[in-house]
Amino acid sequence: MYKLVIRPFLFLLDAETAHHFSFASIRLLSRLGFSGMFRKLFTMEDPKLEREVFGLRFKNPVGLAAGFDKDAKLHNELSDFGFGFIEIGTLTPKPQPGNPKKRLFRLLDDTAIINRMGFNNEGVFDAVERLKKEQRVLIGGNIGKNKVTPNKEAVKDYLICFDALFEYVDYFVVNVSSPNTPGLRELQDKKPLTDILKKLKRENKKLAEKYKGAEKPILLKIAPDLTNDQLLDIISIVKSSKIDGVIATNTTIERKGLKSHLTLAEEKGGLSGKPLTKRSTEVIRFLSEKSKQAFPIIGVGGIHSAQDALEKLEAGASLIQLYTGFIYEGPGLIKRINKAILEQES
């Protein structure tokens, strides 16, 4: 039904308009009592799907990537579609509108999306107020810096977000890999990245002691455009900073082999979807093999089928995330992936 009826209608709309329409529709339908129907249609409950990763128990390994529910407005409702975890954000200390519109583009011929949203969000403190309410699913907090914050002061923004979210999320993701905030990817260099991660680790210990609880897992989200030498640096940084894992990968700035018209394919921003499938899996495999599986990896990028998901798990991912695949394939994809995982393990 999704691909025959719902998607054709949504794709008549501008991409960002369709996103807001979908958001409002899911919220309305949930309030009208359709949550139970969604759970019946899309969720799979089976102990064999459960995963324990970086000290957390996930009811299944399929999560929603950051960017869909930036401001933590729909995490409970989205969990009704069968996700094992939801990642909110990217959140910044201060609200910011992001980049000028038009900034979200569908590449139908490539089953892909280009976005240059630019960390548009209502600010971390606004999200916290919503997170104080009931949570029915594990929540990841994806954090970044404001556009106006210079890189030399970036760590302050990450610490502000970390402190604000600490009591309300289950794990953190440090986003230094979005191509849509000027200069942000420079923070992936070894010295500034190590500095940010080590300071977050110290803050993690301090807050755990303050609240008399456990430290929260900290993950690093990396770009698919890193060279092998840079990926080796990432492995070194993860080990030296003693963070808990990596999310591989964010969107790409690469445009090779696209079928879409040049005027569309060359729009600035990060490319996601099927063109990223192979590269993100390569990065997962490289990190897993070269690190000798020293840390967990969440695999994301171009998952549009159960087979895509299985390939990322086989390459070394412990968990996976969807975004563009969720938009193109619909919520049924989550159940198909979980079913395939069960069939493979039986």
Tens of pLDDT, residues 162-215: 999 999 999 999 999 999 999 999 999 999 999 999 999 999 999 999 999 999
CA angle in degrees (0–180, nearest 5) for 156-92-250: 105
Average pLDDT, the chain: 97
The owner of tokens 């201060």 is 94
241 among known catalytic residues: no
- Which of the following is catalytic: 79, 178, 260, 318? 178
User: Are 83 and 232 a contacting pair, CB within 8 Å?
Assistant: no
253-302 pLDDT, tens digit each? 999 999 999 999 999 999 999 999 999 999 999 999 999 999 999 999 99
Strand 51-53 and strand 56-58: the pairing is: antiparallel
The answer to whether the beta carbons of residues 171 and 321 sit under 8 Å apart is no
Give the predicted TM-score (pTM) of the model.
0.97
| Encoded tokens for 197 | 């991660």
What is the H or E stretch that residue 171 is in? strand 171-175
Q: pLDDT tens digit string along 98-153?
A: 999 999 999 999 999 999 999 999 999 999 999 999 899 999 999 999 999 999 99
Q: Give the H or E element holding residue 114.
A: strand 112-115
| Number of domain units in the chain | 1
Helices (H), 250-319: 262-265, 277-290, 306-315
When pLDDT is cut at 50, 70 and 90, the band that residue 346 belongs to is confident
CATH of the domain at 49: 3.20.20.70
Supply the range of the domain harboring residue 10.
2-345
Q: Which two tokens stand for residue 334?
A: 């989550």
